Amino acid sequence: MEVFYDIDGYRACPSAVCVGVFDGLHLGHRALLAELVDEARHRGVASVVVTFDPHPRIVLSKGNDRVGLLTTPSERIELLGSTGVDRVVVLPFTREFSDLTARQFISEWMRGKLDARFALMGYNHHFGSDDVDKDDYEALAASEGLEARHAKAFVLPGGVKVSSSEVRKALADGDVSRASLLLGRDYSFQGEVIHGDAIGRSIGIRTANVMPESDDKLIPADGVYSALVSVGGGQPLRAVVNVGSRPTVGGRDRRVEAHIMGFDGDIYGRKATVSFLQRLRGEMKFQDLDALAAQIRDDMGKAALSFENS
């Protein structure tokens, strides 16, 4: 897969194109891109995904709307690499770009810069500042020499809707199991292992503080989770992870602390990936450190059961 960050250096070729943020690259996104790849192969053209950085909502809200990214730009590119698309074009989203009308975007970008011959659109996707009605996009595209089609909505058995908004809602509720169902994989984040307050060591339960690599990355609701932690790309290790401000010790800042079960190595300064499996409980304030330690050991027992059942 080729990745282009500079549209001026893009080598245009006949292509089938799909445009969107694709934050999270959930099951609905994957179904859409599988359809794009099949369509491109049928037509004998390249399959091209156009995505944006930063997230359009961040720009259009003038920085006042903290979206909470399901995937950082680098994570999104890595996930797109597993979809089979030929090319990814990352466009910088700006206020000026958002002012383009639908016709201008089709004429100047889709046809002019990308040489798109076919556009596959999500079932509710629209583009352009003039807010063209969904049913009019195909006729508008045809007038510019571009064939366009909206894909069907993707729903799971039982009518479960899949969208980035639904994933964010699940994570905000701490329901990482539901988020995993919608994503088709465990929700995770990457970050550096940093020094904490060494309180875990004082009670015989060492923890690794993992700092998310981006402040915009969405972290699940405060609470305790069973999780897998992979250090430096190594084998995933079983862990109990606390997300929150640590009220028992008077903490104020929000942290992610992982106790890797049966592990006692030095991993400070290394990159780790934390994958959330199941929420065990909410964050609590305990009377003292002994009570906290007893609860963490109980959490470890519950986590062990969740690993066996997963």
Per-residue confidence (pLDDT) for residue 162, from 0 to 100: 92
Per-residue confidence (pLDDT) for residue 291, from 0 to 100: 81
Model confidence at 169, pLDDT cuts 50, 70, 90, reads very high
Please list the helix, strand and coil fractions of the chain in percent, rounded to the nearest 5, in that order: 35, 25, 40
Name the average pLDDT for the chain: 89
Alpha-carbon distance 137 to 77, whole Å? 28
Per-residue confidence (pLDDT) for residue 301, from 0 to 100: 87
Pairing of β 46-53 and β 87-92: parallel
The b-or-e profile of 91-123 (16+ CB within 10 A means b, else e) is bebeeeeeebbbeebbbebbbeebbbbbbbbbe
Q: What HEC string does 156-183 produce?
A: ECCCEECCHHHHHHHHHCCCHHHHHHHH
Model confidence at 250, pLDDT cuts 50, 70, 90, reads low
Per-residue confidence (pLDDT) for residue 280, from 0 to 100: 94
Q: Per-residue pLDDT averaged across 115-124, rounded?
A: 92
Which pair of tokens denotes residue 274? Answer: 């934390």
Alpha-carbon distance 278 to 97, whole Å? 40
Share of the chain above pLDDT 90, in %: 57
Per-residue confidence (pLDDT) for residue 18, from 0 to 100: 97
Long-range (24+ apart) CB contacts under 8 A made by 35-40 are 35/120, 35/151, 36/85, 36/120, 37/83, 37/84, 37/85, 39/118, 39/120, 40/15, 40/16, 40/86, 40/118
Per-residue confidence (pLDDT) for residue 249, from 0 to 100: 66
Per-residue confidence (pLDDT) for residue 127, from 0 to 100: 80
Per-residue confidence (pLDDT) for residue 71, from 0 to 100: 95
- Residue 198 predicted with pLDDT over 60: no
Q: Per-residue pLDDT averaged across 260-268, rounded?
A: 82
Q: What HEC string does 240-252 produce?
A: EEEEECCHHHCCC
Placement of tokens 């862990």 in the chain: 239
- Residue 35 predicted with pLDDT over 70: yes
Displacement of CA 122 from its chain's centroid (Å): 18
Per-residue confidence (pLDDT) for residue 6, from 0 to 100: 85
Which pair of tokens denotes residue 208? Answer: 């690794």
Which pair of tokens denotes residue 99? Answer: 């002012």
Q: At what angle do helices 164-172 and 176-183 cross, to 10 degrees?
A: 160
Per-residue confidence (pLDDT) for residue 73, from 0 to 100: 92
